[in-house]
Structure 1
Amino acid sequence: MSFNSVDELLAAIQPESGGREIFDPATGELVGRAPIATPEDLQGAIDRAEAAQVGWAKRSHAERSEFLNKAADAIEAAAEPLAELLSREQGKPLNGPNARFEVGGCAAWLRANAAFPIEPEVIVDDENVRSEMHYDPIGVVGAISPWNWPMLISIWQWGPSLRMGNTVVSKPASSTTLSVLALAAVMNEALPEDLLIVVPANSKVGAELSRSPKIGKIMFTGSTEVGKIIARDAADTVARLTLELGGNDAGIVLPGTDVSKLAGDIFWGAFINTGQTCAALKRLYVHEDQYEEVVQAVLEVAKGTPMGVGLDENNLLGPLQNKSQYEVVERLVNAAREGGANIRLGGDPAADQPGYFYPTTIVTDIDNDNPLVAEEQFGPVLPIVKYSDLDQAIEWANGIDEGLGSSVWSNDPEAAVEVAKRLQAGTTWINQHGAIDPRIPFGGAKSSGYGLEFGDAGLKAVAQPHVITITK
């Protein structure tokens, strides 16, 4: 069937009666009702996915890629209602790097995963032996996705898993269940039955996903604390793991950088998705010689970027997705204020405004050990820290246990690369931050997780390496 409206999407995924109500974080209005999965529902989904995987694994890469492209076609055909539902449930605006961008990324990511070549790799081939590395399906992949990019991160998990011959049982975040159910409903119009099953379970029921002996691989994006629990749970079954966990990304502006050309990129590196991105710029270190110049340049961009209800075509920033995250941001900004920092913009949410809106906030003259710098805020707040010595800035950037992304900003690419080599992170960008690409592997360092996603490395991460050696 075709999906031409949000009502048609909701009709396909809502229970006939009951369910859990989900509200718009921008307005407080009811968006819809999500089904409530039981332990029996989860087990049934795993059993169905296990049965379907046998036939799916027998298909060639070309056949599986064709299905992924058909699923991408289906997403593009339903792009506008998907984006509207996402905006209403998650809160992000339609325009800018937000809801329409995310839905478009879902289709693009599927097409990219369909296109990557995967061939056996010849390890040794001499007069005595030929040894090849093949990449076989693992089986059933358990995919657990977060609420900040609910559709796109789900695709990051689903696309490579399906391409490599696995089936997927997916557990979405409770506050963005409808978006993920709708995306799967659209894709399943193009996919064979039971390859992709979304189970709208609570955390207690969902925890059984990482304990099931029928799950061969767990992919999780979320907090470090939950990632540790999943790793412990999966140990008993020796399930493979890809964990993309919390980040408190640092950026360093090198002395003499022409910030006039980079202020917009710095701003969106920090404030994309209203700051609710694991690999967003969370703390910026600027040399004292141009500290105020950088602050003013970022402030100028921030003041001109509208925040409001996502369905308003003019807005580019939205609310925080849930109350608990709002309270985290509020606590950390208050800690900065109490520590003597200067709140140059924002920091004073309107008491009578509906929704979880926290104003765009720029904080200066802040100590590196202030909680707003030391902890991940995951919201529309950027602390800008002054440094006088580059070695000190690098030490500060590396001084916490997270290591997802980082960035260096400079007119001198060679100098920037030398600094990048000293940063402890899975990815370091030069003159940008958080710019992901389906061709380029992505993963964390330290407590930001392990395992790679994207590119052929991401495909291999959801496959079983299989060495075949032939004696001549």
Structure 2
Amino acid sequence: MIHPEPTHRMLIGGRLVGAEGDPLGVLNPATEEIVGHVPDATDAQLDAAVSAARHAFATWRTTPVVERRAVLAACASTVREHTEELAVLLTTEQGKPLADARAELMAFAEWLDAHAAMEYPDDEVTETETHRIRVRRVPLGVVAGIVPWNFPVVLAAKKIGPALLAGNTIVVKPSPFTPLTTLRVGELLADVVPAGVINTISGGDNLGPRLTEHPGIRKIAFVGSTATGRKVMASAARNLSRVTLELGGNDAAIVLPDVDVDEVAPKVFWTCFANSGQLCIAAKRVYVHEDVYDAFAERFAELARSVKVGNGLEDGVQLGPLQNRAQYEKVVG
């Protein structure tokens, strides 16, 4: 049987690696057509990625901070140079308007630049004639960066930046719904970072548990649902891996009686519906004082009726589709 070639490859130990079995198809949520294929990482490929990261850690942890900063700055520059290509790819797989995709790519670069400029000296807590207490920041080892489908690029940067600056290495796993741009970034960075310092892997729903359970992982940085976050924490406990969880929220917007409705309604609207509402800090509840309720509700509804929803690659589109079928059914259900 002939399998389609992956559109993009994984970055493992400085090498670009393709599929060893059936690749995974990636849909454009605006058309529900397959727009690319990515490898479905095998156990051996996962082991290779973690092993490469562990091997690179031995050298990277002792690399002078100034050199680590330079690598982060070079990563930012590389992504900036390919912003348009990456933005089109991001819109194609994620659905967001092209302008928003460009902004996300710029945010990726800005985040890495910010870490390239960041200082983190030792803290002298106490120093007397007889003793000194100093807080040192020591790298942990291999970090697993697990990234969701709503902001796959910038949230990857928020894992990569702090991990590399602190002297850790990383294995980045994007969502199976939006792996194309992340793998393409990995391809672009293959000649920018030392081999094994950044690794990118792709796969289906079972790849996440295999990654979080891997004994070579010392830190897990996860962004996603609360339900999955609980599973990640339980999985990390087996190896005593450290965990950072960024999970779903239930944010509220409160509209007081003294507001200018015409000014405030658009702000609340976009707080609710930016990225088609697929945002952990989006307002899910809006409380409006009765004195301005009717005026606010009418203005809010006008905004909803006037916004152009469609394929993010088309001119004038302000909101793209919901990213995947499960999310759509959750919203309409």
Same fold (TM over 0.5): yes
Deviation at 1:214, TM superposition (A): 1.5
- The residue that corresponds to 1:27 in the other structure is 31
- The residue that corresponds to 2:253 in the other structure is 251
9-18 vs 197-206, which moves further: 9-18
Deviation at 1:15, TM superposition (A): 4.1
1:69 and 2:73 are equivalent in the alignment: yes
- The residue that corresponds to 2:14 in the other structure is none
CA contact (8 A) 1:72 1:187 kept: no
1:137-286 to 2 correspondences below 5 Å: 137-286=139-288
What is the Cα-based RMSD across aligned positions, in Å?
1.7
Once residues 255 and 264 of structure 1 are traced to their aligned partners in structure 2, the CA distance between those partners, rounded to angstroms, is 16
Query: 263, 268, 292: which is aligned to 1:290?
Result: 292
CA contact (8 A) 1:273 1:317 kept: yes
- What amino acid is the match of 1:271? F
1:46 and 2:50 are equivalent in the alignment: yes
Deviation at 1:283, TM superposition (A): 1.1
Distance 1:27 1:94, change over 3 A: same
Percent identity between matched residues is 38
Deviation at 1:305, TM superposition (A): 2.0
Distance 1:12 1:44, change over 3 A: closer
CA contact (8 A) 2:311 2:321 kept: yes
- The unaligned stretches of length 5 or more in structure 2 are 1-5, 11-16
Once residues 241 and 198 of structure 1 are traced to their aligned partners in structure 2, the CA distance between those partners, rounded to angstroms, is 19
- The residue that corresponds to 2:82 in the other structure is 78
- What amino acid is the match of 2:51? D
- The residue that corresponds to 1:309 in the other structure is 311
Once residues 112 and 293 of structure 1 are traced to their aligned partners in structure 2, the CA distance between those partners, rounded to angstroms, is 42
184-193 vs 41-50, which moves further: 184-193
- The residue that corresponds to 2:3 in the other structure is none
Distance 1:265 1:187, change over 3 A: farther
- What amino acid is the match of 1:120? D
Deviation at 1:330, TM superposition (A): 0.7
Q: Give CA-to-partner distance per residue, 1:194-251, whole Å, 9 cap, x none.
A: 1111111222233122112221100100111111111111112111100011112111
CA contact (8 A) 2:219 2:243 kept: yes
- The residue that corresponds to 1:122 in the other structure is 124
SS state at 2:317 partner: coil
Once residues 287 and 40 of structure 1 are traced to their aligned partners in structure 2, the CA distance between those partners, rounded to angstroms, is 58
130-139 vs 298-307, which moves further: 298-307
CA contact (8 A) 1:15 1:33 kept: no
Deviation at 1:12, TM superposition (A): 5.6
Once residues 83 and 7 of structure 2 are traced to their aligned partners in structure 1, the CA distance between those partners, rounded to angstroms, is 14
- The residue that corresponds to 2:64 in the other structure is 60
1:300 and 2:302 are equivalent in the alignment: yes
- The residue that corresponds to 1:376 in the other structure is none
CA contact (8 A) 2:8 2:37 kept: no
Deviation at 1:260, TM superposition (A): 2.1
Once residues 8 and 43 of structure 2 are traced to their aligned partners in structure 1, the CA distance between those partners, rounded to angstroms, is 24
- What amino acid is the match of 1:306? K
- What amino acid is the match of 1:223? S
Greater C-alpha radius of gyration: 1
Deviation at 1:38, TM superposition (A): 0.6
Once residues 149 and 267 of structure 2 are traced to their aligned partners in structure 1, the CA distance between those partners, rounded to angstroms, is 24
Deviation at 1:18, TM superposition (A): 4.7
Once residues 296 and 63 of structure 2 are traced to their aligned partners in structure 1, the CA distance between those partners, rounded to angstroms, is 54
Once residues 190 and 259 of structure 1 are traced to their aligned partners in structure 2, the CA distance between those partners, rounded to angstroms, is 50
Once residues 30 and 205 of structure 2 are traced to their aligned partners in structure 1, the CA distance between those partners, rounded to angstroms, is 24
Deviation above 3 Å: which 4+ runs of structure 1? 9-18
- The residue that corresponds to 1:425 in the other structure is none
SS state at 1:173 partner: coil
- What amino acid is the match of 2:80? E
CA contact (8 A) 1:143 1:171 kept: yes
- The residue that corresponds to 1:357 in the other structure is none
Deviation at 1:146, TM superposition (A): 0.6
SS state at 1:302 partner: helix
SS state at 1:136 partner: coil
SS state at 1:250 partner: strand
Once residues 88 and 228 of structure 1 are traced to their aligned partners in structure 2, the CA distance between those partners, rounded to angstroms, is 31
295-304 vs 237-246, which moves further: 295-304
- Alignment: residue pair count: 321
- TM-score of the superposition, structure 2-length normalised? 0.92
- The residue that corresponds to 2:13 in the other structure is none
CA contact (8 A) 1:10 1:182 kept: no
CA contact (8 A) 1:74 1:189 kept: no
Once residues 210 and 194 of structure 1 are traced to their aligned partners in structure 2, the CA distance between those partners, rounded to angstroms, is 18
- What amino acid is the match of 1:89? E
- The unaligned stretches of length 5 or more in structure 1 are 1-8, 332-472
